[in-house]
Amino acid sequence: MRTRQPAKAAPPSRASTLSARFRLTHPTPESTSFGIYGVIIGAGVMTASHAESTLQLVAAVLVTLMIYWAAERYSRLVADRIHAGHRPDWRRLRAQLSTGWEIVTASMLPLGVLVAVRAAGVPLPQAVMWALVSSTLLLCLAGWEVGRHGQLTTLERLVSASVAGAFGAAMIVLKASLH
């Protein structure tokens, strides 16, 4: 009797390779959403900031992301206590404080673009636009990857990528209209 061989997995696409490299998709839906949210927050800070130096802008983005991370973790701990009816144990506290970092780390590529473009001599306002474009591309790629993992059709994946990218595009339009 012949046994059926399992089908070979398709080779990873270029988009999925980029996704793995930039950690756009994560093991859990929550961590993936934190990454997307972190890119949007970082872009929002770059959009609204009136920082006079690259260092001030990078610090503003990172401090803001850390505040969002801390507030999100705090709200989870408070909600756990309310719903569990008792203080969380050390294991639960440690678990809460060691997760959700995607909200901070996902903005490292746009910040890296900002620093690299500034180091190349581009004025800060244009460097911010480069960083916002990289944020938008990351969001588009994340939308595409979310669609792949959600087994969407190509058209649905294009819509998913477009919707995700629209958040970044909105930041670019806002930055252009504010400054």
Question: What are the average pLDDT values for consecutive 10-residue runs of the chain, which has 179 residues?
Answer: 47 51 62 91 95 97 97 91 85 89 94 98 97 96 83 91 94 87
What is the per-residue pLDDT for 4? 47
Predicted local confidence at residue 23, as pLDDT: 53
167 near 139, Cβ under 8 Å?
yes
Number of separate helices (H) and strands (E) present in the chain: 8, 0
Instruction: Give this prediction's pTM.
Output: 0.80
CB distance 161 to 147 below 8 Å: yes
Say what the pLDDT of residue 10 is.
45
Q: Given this model, what pLDDT does residue 63 score?
A: 97
Please give the pLDDT value at position 29.
Answer: 76
Q: Rounded CA gap, 113 and 92, in Å?
A: 36
Task: Of 109, 164, 161, 157, give the one whose Cα is nearest residue 134.
Answer: 109
- Confidence (pLDDT) at 7: 44
And the tokens for 22?
A: 């930039």
Place of tokens 């144990």: 89
Residue 97 CA to its chain's centroid (Å): 19
